[in-house]
Amino acid sequence: MAARTIIEIPVNTSAEDTLVWKLSNNCSFKTSIAWNIIRQRQDVPIFGWIWLSFIIPTISIFLWHLLHDKLAIDTRLQQKGIHLASRCMCLNMKNLLHISSLLALMQMRNSTPYATLGHIRTVVPILIFWHIWEARNNAKYWDKKFFASKIIHRIIQHLHNIYAVGKMGYKHWKSNLQFAKHLGLTVPRPTPKIAIAVTWLRPTDKLWKLNTDGATCDSLCSNAGGILHDQNGNAVFAFTHFLGAMNSIEAEIEAVLSGLQHC
């Protein structure tokens, strides 16, 4: 049966043979897709918490350097053999920030089960370190005085700006609504979700019903599947296919197409 199916596939003998990359949605080989398939991702959760849509890349890159102990400050340059007269306004700024940043992010992340990605308990430490660093640079290069009260004010203003553009909702403030209220922010609670039962209805007499579904993960690994029932609700056949790289809409269409072809 399988051999006959293969033989019956129409072949255009006048066309030249072409290499087909099955894992690409347009059948063309892509090194980016191949790399994503073979590479081994290292799970470093703490670094994923600093890349947020409402945190500008400048701050995220600063935190990345901070967590890797790669900030270009006087003591760091001296370790590289470049001797400079230090004008740092804070003693041991490098060690203090590097160690405390790791501890703060880890402790705040584990302080509540609601501290998911982008939660206020993980955002606040990020803003604290950034505005301390910003104040340190202003003091060193622009001779501006270093005031803790000014840093606190800028952190609060930063949170207000993020909230004003709608980037932080209830899930980001969960279990910390009193803190939001203290900052002068009113975070509305979400509307409770209502579960709705969906009943599968078998087809009418002399009709069959095909149900299909297509799904994708990061546009690199897509699959399709489906099942066909007769008028009595009995399963006639079911199928699953690996589709390769495509988006969710393409996966849904491929699932319907495969189901119809099987019919």
Per-residue pLDDT of the chain (263 residues; tens, 9 = 90+): 566 777 777 777 777 777 777 777 677 777 877 887 787 766 656 777 888 989 999 999 998 888 887 877 766 667 777 666 555 555 455 555 555 665 666 666 666 777 778 899 889 989 998 998 999 889 888 989 889 999 999 999 999 999 999 999 999 999 899 999 999 999 998 888 888 988 888 888 889 999 999 988 765 678 899 999 998 889 999 999 888 778 889 889 999 999 998 87
Contact predicate 230/259, CB 8 Å: no
**CATH homologous superfamily of 209-262:** Ribonuclease H-like superfamily/Ribonuclease H (3.30.420.10)
Checking 126-129 for CB contacts under 8 A at 24+ apart, the result is 126/50, 126/55, 126/59, 126/63, 127/59, 127/155, 127/158, 127/159, 128/104, 128/155, 129/62, 129/63, 129/66, 129/97, 129/100, 129/101, 129/104
Specify the pLDDT at position 12: 74
Q: Whole-structure pTM over 0.95, yes or no?
A: no
- Which tokens is 18 given? 């072409």
Place of tokens 């297509």: 214
User: Where does CATH 3.30.420.10 sit in the chain?
Assistant: 209-262
Specify the pLDDT at position 46: 73
Specify the pLDDT at position 211: 94
Specify the pLDDT at position 91: 43
